[in-house]
Structure 1
């Protein structure tokens, strides 16, 4: 669906191109915030080929006073040519990201120049330093017909204050901060200079964390982007102490890191960021928390000046049950019990449990006991958890905290898994009296196998990839990640089958429940799906996509000895997943039972965007449509 401003953009661009109204100083299309948070922009005639009958167009994005601009390219196909020095742009986009008024002329200096394909682009996101950003789409001098589709992107207007470091800038410096724990300031964020833009060359910044006597410091680097190869010319170093003479806890000088956690052993932590005079990247985005390690064993009520007890009206945060579980070589799982194990848990408390996996590990949670006080009806079939004792599970998607589920009463939730290396559980006990409720028991584990069951061997070189060899198992089964519970969000898994000569692979689902909208099963409908291919790294147009929930399925068969099954989930919803059986069969042993399924209302015969629109003529499209109709009649 096109919004009005997107439709207006396409109309303006096509009008300029059609009437030849673009003069040498460029035509201009303006996107201004005025409360608009995001939208799309396109090259003329997208997704068809752009024409060569205009010179250039300026796309100008102007935010409100306290906003910056983010643009992200989703598709890119601009003409370039090979020269003795490499590839040279014939058509290109120049990005002016440091113009506060959104005005450029022939003397303006651009910050980036891009062309070619999306895969060849090192960066796909760009940010302005102020409220404006300008793109110059330039068509090279070439009278021949263009055979390139141009570009598509999304833009967003972001609050500039969202990228402000929470600390006191040291006098006489540009990027060094003192960050101190105070009563109302125990957590916050800090960033590399100019973030989310690229940091400047020859930067040297220090971040000094100073906690109270009973505190330690926890820092989570949500994102780190440094040049590669780097050889530690640009680096981040974290020291356990008040300066660089402390123990070096962590050093980052490689390309990319996400969700890296560092903990101090004292109230002080010192971080040094330094860049050389060569390449520059985005730097880092991080958050910090001062953790209070105090604990009063019996948790007495506060007393007033006359010695009498004061009534506590709100929940008490109990530090003893606020714990961080970090994956270690000798620690890959355990069990957590509610406070007062063996007795009824206390009223009016909050406990927080955080889990930090390492590398490509995922966190799997299984609630093995749940007996929480529930006053709103039947605890074995609770209707909503509002104002009730509860366990709430949170995961992190694109560095944002997302609630995965809230559970109460005595109804056991499904087994859960994180989409990344972090997870959090909060136990909340309301101030109401308890009915001898025993609380909960929670089993957790750090897993590299994604909870995938079956006869496959995990390929340690790739994330969530499993291989099945006919020489080892002629038949067997495989499952979606975390099978037996809900599969994790934002997850992609591959199941690769290698048969012997003259063998084919047959896959049949015994259980299938993958969230999606039939028959599309694509990203445009926010569907999770299972797809199939006879190729290792490319989409197979002849194979279907499966989604939805069905009790039975026709088996699906490969064309040769190699086959690939792919499971992909997005960040929207989750479901129970699937269990599938596989068998390697020889060609002469095949029966009609193993025919590739015909098109049906719940299968996408051609995945979206698999064939460019311009590559199929109307005549060919008509022939294909006729074949589909005949095929449907025959198989019906």
Structure 2
């Protein structure tokens, strides 16, 4: 072994390193830098995983050291590395100087290690810092992965790293569709009687990072009376919570055969358990990757479902289905108990009424009811409470756990999660689902002659209950406001004045004439979050920009009073984005398109006014608009 890379290491330290790593081969000189020593791993010795670590771990690793970890799998395998601890001294933010760990995942093409690889090979990623800076797992593109560990001269107490490795059969990640000839990554999935009705699809190279500058099309064709259910189990494209408008790597799902069909979903950033159900027998998934740094990609499952059985995953085929628009009264009940299960499907009816058993008479004690709602395509489930009167055991309500209550459940990250519990006599605000499914459980423990139960109007909506603007088919939730059609009006968050849905992005595009600006006056603003409204605080946010793509604009969240926004040009983009956590009632804003001269007068008046004169300033702007339209 060459000693120049380990001039500060004692002989005993090197021996401990070799024993701990269960090293198979120590190479000399077959790497980028002949001063680096290479540790080769070719087996896990009959165990599911092997172990690797930095020298002397958990004590600080030696200074001025250079070491190559080479992992060699069989030709049909790929390498998976998982760091259980990671602490590499970060001298610079980009990790290119000082201590670092470089990852070469291209196998025998772009990495150091085996013969034929040279100093011109390029690394796929570079790491330094602590555990939060390291990815959950690393995967090779082929049967080879190399880690180059380099430490500088500056003193450091960083402890290095420890992790596990294993070799995985790459055939476990093959897409089940038929690959389109002469296409890099296009597939066709056709429902046939002699083929399974379900399967899987992956981004290119998954679970390793996908290539850059690629576009893949996945075409799904069901038979008549069938639909396609698609679940993105994991999708790791780019970190953060930016608007998908700002992202270079996105997944678009079209509710039809071609890209002119309405868009059901646009996925970006990192998503788990996202479910889609097509309206008809065709679906197109388009994956575009144009960023400089690739993510891991996505894995998804698909299933061709018969219309009559498309709710099997919800009800097991046992629940009664309704959708004719008539109230769901529930079955006849005895004085002792009640059982009422209902499924409401948008392909039967887009709206209807749901009532508690025997409404408006009191519901029987010990009543248990379960209601499932199943939408399709771009639709969301919306519940509007017309009447709500449940038995209250105590005078004050602390929680609904031990009382007659109605619980609402959403599907978040692929799991059923309670959104809220409602009890007493206060009528809940409207509720909207975050996807195609929503469930309700009604628990009537006590009942009384004063408890009417509930009456709910349900709707399957595509417009997110946003009543103004023109909805665009090329986005799941986007609306246009054009001054040539209307110079003033109102814009609201989805489902306002109810709670806005989770995991939702809506964009509002305002287009004025050449010499016009748009002015927004928010009369209500309640968006869950903490300034500066970033992902680290799990904040929802609203963002304003005079550009279609903009990552630098300030974000707004929290509860704000008298918020006013004026565009810098004749175009304004408003982006609302919610996560999968807490909810708010969103916003309501009045908008006005003003000519430049009118806007200048309004700004002058606003600068002269104190904060408690903002309302009068807005009234002044309204007067200007009235004069302009005379």
Rate the CA distance shift 1:22–1:435 in 2: closer, same or farther, 3 A: farther
Matched, 1:437 2:447: no
TM-score, normalised with respect to structure 1 = 0.54
Find the aligned partners of 1:231 and 1:250 in 2 and give their Cα distance. Answer: 15
Map residues 553-568 of structure 1 onto 2, 5 A cutoff.
Answer: 553=563, 555-568=564-577
What SS does structure 2 have at the residue aligned with 1:590?
helix
Rate the CA distance shift 1:550–1:230 in 2: closer, same or farther, 3 A: closer
What SS does structure 1 have at the residue aligned with 2:357?
coil
C-alpha contact (below 8 Å) 1:377/1:383 kept by paired residues: no
Matched, 1:375 2:393: yes
Map residues 56-455 of structure 1 onto 2, 5 A cutoff.
Answer: 57=102, 92-94=104-106, 115=124, 136-137=146-147, 198-199=173-174, 249-250=226-227, 259-260=275-276, 282-284=299-301, 287=313, 289-292=315-318, 298=332, 318=339, 321-328=340-347, 331-377=349-395, 382-430=397-445, 432=446, 434-454=448-468
Q: Could you list the per-position Cα deviations for residues 331-355 of structure 1 after superposition, in whole angstroms to 9, with x for gaps in the alignment? A: 2111101112342212212111111
Q: CA deviation at 1:387?
A: 2.0
Matched with 1:70 is none
Q: CA deviation at 1:292?
A: 2.3
Matched, 1:51 2:96: yes
Find the aligned partners of 2:481 and 2:407 in 1 and give their Cα distance. Answer: 38
Matched with 1:498 is 511
C-alpha contact (below 8 Å) 1:474/1:584 kept by paired residues: yes
Q: Could you list the per-position Cα deviations for residues 484-540 of structure 1 after superposition, in whole angstroms to 9, with x for gaps in the alignment? A: 11111111111111111122222221221111113x12222111121111110222x
Rate the CA distance shift 1:498–1:288 in 2: closer, same or farther, 3 A: closer
Find the aligned partners of 1:361 and 1:202 in 2 and give their Cα distance. Answer: 27
C-alpha contact (below 8 Å) 1:127/1:197 kept by paired residues: no
Find the aligned partners of 1:595 and 1:468 in 2 and give their Cα distance. Answer: 26
Find the aligned partners of 1:499 and 1:116 in 2 and give their Cα distance. Answer: 45
C-alpha contact (below 8 Å) 2:91/2:97 kept by paired residues: no
Matched with 2:29 is none
Q: CA deviation at 1:45?
A: 4.2
C-alpha contact (below 8 Å) 2:69/2:147 kept by paired residues: no
Rate the CA distance shift 1:335–1:582 in 2: closer, same or farther, 3 A: same
Find the aligned partners of 2:200 and 2:392 in 1 and give their Cα distance. Answer: 40
Q: CA deviation at 1:289?
A: 4.8
Rate the CA distance shift 1:462–1:337 in 2: closer, same or farther, 3 A: same
Matched with 1:524 is 536
C-alpha contact (below 8 Å) 2:81/2:164 kept by paired residues: no
Find the aligned partners of 1:408 and 1:196 in 2 and give their Cα distance. Answer: 52
C-alpha contact (below 8 Å) 1:56/1:136 kept by paired residues: no
Matched with 1:551 is 561
Find the aligned partners of 2:91 and 2:380 in 1 and give their Cα distance. Answer: 40
What SS does structure 2 have at the residue aligned with 1:588?
helix
Find the aligned partners of 1:370 and 1:221 in 2 and give their Cα distance. Answer: 42
Matched, 1:474 2:487: yes
Rate the CA distance shift 1:136–1:361 in 2: closer, same or farther, 3 A: farther
C-alpha contact (below 8 Å) 1:374/1:389 kept by paired residues: yes
Q: Could you list the per-position Cα deviations for residues 225-271 of structure 1 after superposition, in whole angstroms to 9, with x for gaps in the alignment? A: 68886676xx7979xxxxxxxx8634579996953569xxxxxxxxx
> 5+ residue gaps in structure 1?
1-7, 34-38, 59-91, 97-103, 108-112, 118-124, 141-154, 158-193, 204-219, 239-246, 263-279, 302-311, 599-636
Find the aligned partners of 1:461 and 1:528 in 2 and give their Cα distance. Answer: 23
RMSD: 5.2
What SS does structure 1 have at the residue aligned with 2:67?
coil
Rate the CA distance shift 1:398–1:222 in 2: closer, same or farther, 3 A: farther
Matched with 1:62 is none
C-alpha contact (below 8 Å) 2:470/2:480 kept by paired residues: yes
C-alpha contact (below 8 Å) 2:105/2:144 kept by paired residues: no
> 5+ residue gaps in structure 2?
1-52, 72-79, 116-121, 127-134, 151-162, 179-196, 205-214, 231-250, 254-264, 266-273, 279-296, 304-312, 322-329, 608-630
C-alpha contact (below 8 Å) 1:529/1:567 kept by paired residues: yes
Find the aligned partners of 1:409 and 1:581 in 2 and give their Cα distance. Answer: 34
Matched with 2:586 is 577
Find the aligned partners of 1:354 and 1:47 in 2 and give their Cα distance. Answer: 53
Rate the CA distance shift 1:332–1:510 in 2: closer, same or farther, 3 A: same
Rate the CA distance shift 1:383–1:596 in 2: closer, same or farther, 3 A: farther
Matched with 1:36 is none
TM-score, normalised with respect to structure 2 = 0.55
C-alpha contact (below 8 Å) 2:382/2:460 kept by paired residues: yes
C-alpha contact (below 8 Å) 2:202/2:300 kept by paired residues: yes
Find the aligned partners of 2:605 and 2:557 in 1 and give their Cα distance. Answer: 17
Find the aligned partners of 2:175 and 2:579 in 1 and give their Cα distance. Answer: 35
Matched with 1:19 is 63
What SS does structure 2 have at the residue aligned with 1:570?
coil
